[in-house]
Amino acid sequence: MKISIVTPSFNQGEFIAEAIESVLAQNYTDFEHIIVDNCSTDETAKVLARYLHLKVICEKDKGQSDALNKGFKAATGDIVGWLNADDKYLPGCFDHSLEAFAKHSEFDLVYGDYRLVDAKGCLIRVRKELGFDPFMLKYLHVLYIPTTTTFFRRKIFDERNFIDINYHYSMDYEYFLRLAERGYRFGHIPAVMADFRWHADAKSQQIIKAQAEMERALLAHDQFLRQFNSSMRIPIRNILMFLARLKRYVLKVLLGAYFVKGSDRLGT
């Protein structure tokens, strides 16, 4: 199967070569790597020029969500991966995803485990995730499905499912909520597949804005919470969040995914 990797880019010249090299290191011949660059003003253009195999779309966009949609629409692969410019795949990532799709025809998208690293690539912690759970997807205070290890079947985009460009910080959360609501099947791969980089300029650092967008997306897709007025909704939301965090913790302990060197504490 052909794999398309889509990488949105804006002034990530410091990291983007590692992302590109991590795709090449998969040693998989039938692939394309699409870079959608928002006319970066740093060294990105010089870095991209070194890699003749890339498909580069360099034009102004309306943000990361818009750039991703351009890449998804341009992708020709049977499987499509979402790799941000400051992240990278680990060896065997493609093999794990292809094997999961081959064994599970019911899966429409799959995601794996990952390592959280700092700006220099040094390990912060290993995040072992859990199988798909709609309750945790909705009510957990963080998105537990990492985009950097997520691969989609092409049918998702053929059926006109694209990211909402009105979301800038939690577009992935809203997107996964919407896909789940439409009945697409998620599968978890119990393997560490990528590095997610946590650094000062990362969009993930915009925690308050991201949480506000998550709450907006949740209300848009959760009929249960919408039936309550705002005064009732807040305490009910807090209870649901606590239960989701507790469920995640208990499942991680039972499955041995919590006590990992450098693993996350309860509530992360």
Q: Does position 136 have pLDDT exceeding 50, yes or no? A: yes
**Which one is the CATH code of 3-255: 3.20.20.70, 3.90.1300.10, 3.90.550.10, 3.40.50.2300?**
3.90.550.10
Write down the pLDDT at residue 83.
98
Angstrom CA distances, 223 to 143, 219, 228, stand at 19, 7, 10
Tell me the mean pLDDT in the region 101-128.
94
CB atoms within 10 A of CB 78: 15
Q: How sure is the predictor about 260, in pLDDT bands with cuts at 50, 70 and 90?
A: very low
- The angle subtended at Cα 34 by Cα 193 and Cα 211, nearest 5°, is 60
Q: How sure is the predictor about 253, in pLDDT bands with cuts at 50, 70 and 90?
A: confident
Q: 3-state SS string over 117-157? A: ECCCCCEEEEECCCCCCHHHHHHCCCCCCCHHHCEEECHHH
Q: What is the pLDDT of residues 26-46, one digit of tens each?
A: 999 999 999 999 999 999 999
CB atoms within 10 A of CB 223: 8
Q: Does position 267 have pLDDT exceeding 90, yes or no? A: no
Q: Does pTM surpass 0.75?
A: yes
The number of angstroms, rounded, from the C-alpha of 3 to the middle of its chain's C-alpha atoms is 16
Instruction: Give domain limits for the chain.
Output: 3-255
Q: In sequence order, which residues have a C-beta less than 8 Å from that of residue 49 and are 6 or more positions away?
A: none
Amino acid 27 reads N
Answer yes or no: are the C-beta atoms of 75 and 6 closer than 8 Å: yes
203 vs 251 pLDDT, higher one: 251
Lowest mean pLDDT among 11-20, 61-70, 206-215: 206-215
Per the prediction, the chain carries an average pLDDT of: 91
Nearest to 146 by CA among 167, 120, 176, 179: 176
